[in-house]
């Protein structure tokens, strides 16, 4: 499943798309050159879209240890057609959702990153991980001079359950009632993924909603003028 915020605006990490010229949707196997895959008698075909514009947060500093403002918006060259395997995701504009507790709550992270075999996965995987306090992450990563702010989320830390290299820019999801929300973006973590006691660090999407709205609305208005 690929999630987007609108028909043409996925949200990713700032360091993911510097050299990316297209985006693929409905990818089942990233190695296979076959465009369509049949699963349970249903044909699923990948879709590829050109990238028209990448907007990195203006305050992002790739050399910063804390990876503050690690978020970007990708504008696709054409609208995506939503279907069973490509759907829009909710953002936490509802204050009741944005202010829900993080610690000890369950989240889901997805991606094609490294597995326990230290190789990238051919297939998109997901794992459930539990929220932690930013204070805990500050204690754990303090030796590396990392200091989290309200712009970060601290999630994970259970052995063998983590995002990893290759997952950067992927979504951290939260199920509220019957709706899925993208509450985070995979940013960084411990050198050895899935280590007990070492959570992952995620960009807190709720803190960037005004910026996201400004970027998306600016692009929309520009298209209307054309």
The alpha carbon of residue 95 and the mean position of all alpha carbons in its chain are separated, in whole angstroms, by 20
Angle at 45 between CA 72 and CA 6, to 5 degrees: 30
Query: Do the beta carbons of residue 99 and residue 75 sit within 8 Å?
Result: no
Catalytic residue among 14, 26, 163, 168: 168
Scored b (16 or more CB within 10 A) or e, 187-203 reads bbbbeebbbeebbbbbb
d(C-alpha 198, C-alpha 108), whole Å: 17
Annotated catalytic residue within 70, 121, 163, 167? 70
147, containing H or E segment: none
Nearest 5°: CA angle at 87, between 29 and 105?
90
Query: Which among 8, 9, 26, 167 is annotated as catalytic?
Result: 9
- How far apart, in Å, are the Cα atoms of 27 and each of 24, 45, 82, 120, 182? 7, 8, 14, 15, 20
Active site residue 70: yes
Q: Which residues are catalytic?
A: 9, 70, 168
């Amino acid at each position: 499943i690929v999630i987007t915020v609108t028909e043409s605006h996925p949200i990713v990490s700032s360091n993911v798309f510097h050299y990316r010229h297209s985006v693929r949707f409905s990818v089942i196997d990233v190695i296979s050159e076959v465009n369509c895959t049949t699963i349970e008698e249903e044909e699923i075909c990948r879709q590829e879209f050109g990238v028209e514009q990448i907007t990195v947060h203006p305050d992002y500093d790739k050399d910063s240890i804390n990876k503050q403002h690690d978020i970007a918006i990708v504008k696709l060259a054409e609208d995506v057609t939503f279907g069973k395997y490509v759907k829009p995701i909710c953002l936490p504009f509802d204050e009741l959702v944005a202010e829900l507790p993080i610690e000890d709550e369950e989240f889901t992270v997805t991606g094609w990153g490294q597995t326990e075999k230290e190789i990238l996965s051919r297939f998109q995987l997901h794992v459930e991980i539990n929220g932690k306090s930013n204070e805990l992450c500050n204690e754990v990563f303090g030796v590396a001079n990392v200091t989290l702010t309200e712009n970060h989320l601290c999630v994970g830390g259970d052995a063998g359950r983590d995002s990893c290299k290759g997952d950067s820019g992927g979504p951290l999801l939260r199920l509220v009632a019957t709706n899925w929300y993208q509450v985070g973006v995979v940013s960084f973590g411990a050198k050895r993924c899935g280590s007990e006691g070492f959570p992952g660090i995620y960009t807190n999407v709720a803190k960037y909603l005004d910026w996201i709205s400004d970027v998306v609305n600016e692009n929309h208005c520009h298209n209307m003028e054309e």
